[in-house]
Structure 1
Amino acid sequence: MSMSRCVALTNRHLVRGRLTDQIRLLVAGGIPSILLREKDLSQEEYADLARAVIPLMSVPGDCILHHHIDVARDLHHPAIHLPLPDLRRIWGDWLDFEIRGASVHSVSEAREAQDLGATYLMASPIFETACKPGVLPKGTAFIGELVRLTGLPIYALGGIDLHNAQEALDAGATGVCLMSAAMGVDGDGVEELRRFVR
């Protein structure tokens, strides 16, 4: 099972309508991989959302569940993404998942996540982002460093849009993660995303 070179991170607060409708638009527009983030939902609310979103995907694993590992297990879902504190808490007890992603912000965190069994890393913030004001971006050199040190697929996150995404790919990223650019896109704009993914 492999991920697209463009992963849409969900944030329903950035969507003008319903999140499920936005996901339908993205999938129909050729964005096959969705990271269902929604960090402010309770476990029960998140489980209900996951049950609604997973059937929208061509392949179940194209929807990557976030943080709620118990929900993923209850749904027998193959893909999970964990912040590093979550991964430390479970002591690497996630090897039953086929796709195992971890968020990292330094070389030492990347090595730790790899040792704990991550199959890919999400590195951030690569560029300046309004989501984390005042946080210095790591720059694209960080991507190349992680690729050399871990050999894992690296997905770039943070301030990425279709104008700078190629810089991250040229630096060695397997793919890029779009949040604002994906959650705010309309029917016309999704065609531009489709061309990028191809």
Structure 2
Amino acid sequence: MGFINDLRLYLVTDEQPNLLPRVEKAIQGGVTCVQLRRKKITDDQFIEEALQVKQLCRQYKIPFAINDRVEIAREVEADWLHIGQEDKGILYARAIVGGMTKIGVSVHSVEEALEAERSGADYVGVGALFPTSSKPDTIPLHLNTLRSIRKAINIPIVGIGGITEEMIKQVPPGIVDGFAIISSILSDQDPKSAAIRMRSVMEQQC
């Protein structure tokens, strides 16, 4: 299983109930990795849920990622860790989780992307590409910036923010290695079918 291919349909969890059944259906529809992103629960609750989602990912043989919570990523032995610009930084994260955990970094500019690569990031999440309800104050990134980031770095790129079937079609083929998606899959009444549709559209762009 190639690392770049693992990023193709990158599912990020939401804050809604009944998470595990929805995540499993999404995996069955073709999700290639799952990131647990939960801002509104305690560390103990996060650990409990992380172990459940990790077990589900193991069952389907796909990578499991933790968002932001570096110490928990180490405790539950997550495959990947994803951090933002406001966090303590990749060097701190690497010191905590060690060399076996892949680390992704959210970036919004060429300069941030270059710094992430220099610091040892395994991939970057670039965005938000489009308006997104998960971060309503975010100003969408111009596609020219995305093109510039692609030219500047050699590590994989995941497009994030407001990703829908129609929005994927607006991203020129070959610029990103995958798309990170929340509501377009998990808020659908049938996450499996939504993932199948997204995977079909996405594979024409990556």
TM-score for both structures, normalised by structure 1: 0.86
Q: Give the alignment partner of residue 149 of structure 1, picking from 145, 149, 152.
A: 152
Higher mean C-alpha displacement, 177-186 vs 92-101: 92-101
* SS of equivalent residue, structure 2 residue 105: strand
Cα gap change, 1:91/1:8 in structure 2, threshold over 3 Å: closer, same or farther? closer
For residues 27-70 of structure 1, give each alpha carbon's deviation from its aligned partner in whole angstroms, at most 9, with x where no partner exists: 1111121111112222221111110011111225x221111121
- Counterpart CA distance in 1 for 2:136 and 2:100 is 33
Task: Give the drift of 1:148.
Answer: 1.0
2-structure distance, mates of 1:46, 1:169: 36
CA contact (8 A) 2:66 2:73 kept: yes
CA shift digits 1:152-197 (9 cap, x unpaired): 1111111110112133352601111111102112334344234335
Q: Report which stretch shifted further, 94-103 or 50-59.
A: 94-103
Cα displacement (A) at 1:91: 6.7
* Paired letter, 2:45: E
1:192 corresponds to: 197
Shift of the 44–106 alpha-carbon distance from structure 1 to 2, 3 Å rule, reads same
**Structure 1 gap ranges (5+):** none
Asked if the contact 1:92/1:116 (under 8 Å) is kept, the reply is no
| 2:56 paired with 1:74 | no
How far 1:4 sits from its partner (Å)? 3.3
Give the secondary-structure state (helix, strand or coil) at the position aligned to 1:84: coil
Moved more, 20-29 or 181-190: 181-190
Residue 129 (structure 1) shift: 2.4
- The reply on whether 1:129 has 2:132 as its aligned counterpart is yes
Deviation at 1:150, TM superposition (A): 1.3
Q: In the alignment, does 2:36 pair up with 1:31?
A: no
Separation in structure 2 between the aligned mates of residue 74 and residue 134 of structure 1, nearest angstrom: 32
CA distance in 1, matches of 2:36, 2:126: 17
Inter-CA distance 35–168: structure 2 relative to 1 (3 Å threshold):
farther
From the superposition, tell whether residues 177 and 92 of structure 1 become closer, same or farther in structure 2 (CA, over 3 Å): same
Instruction: State the AA in 2 paired with 1:85.
Output: E
Q: What is aligned with 1:180?
A: 183
State the partner residue of 1:59: 61
In 2, the alpha carbon distance for the partners of 1:47 and 1:37 equals 12
CA distance in 2, matches of 1:41, 1:164: 31
Identity of aligned residues (%): 21
CA distance in 1, matches of 2:164, 2:178: 12
Q: Which residue of 1 aligns with 2:123?
A: 120
Matches within 5 A, 1:89-108: 90=92, 92-93=94-95, 94-108=97-111
Q: Judging changes above 3 Å, is the alpha-carbon distance between structure 1 residues 134 and 56 closer, same or farther for their aligned structure 2 residues?
A: closer
Unaligned 5+ segments in structure 2 are: none
What's the counterpart of residue 12 of structure 2? Answer: 9
Cα deviations across residues 99-142 of structure 1 (Å, max 9, x unaligned)?
21011122222122222211100011111223333533112222
RMSD (CA atoms): 2.2
Cα distance in structure 1, aligned partners of 2:93 and 2:7: 28
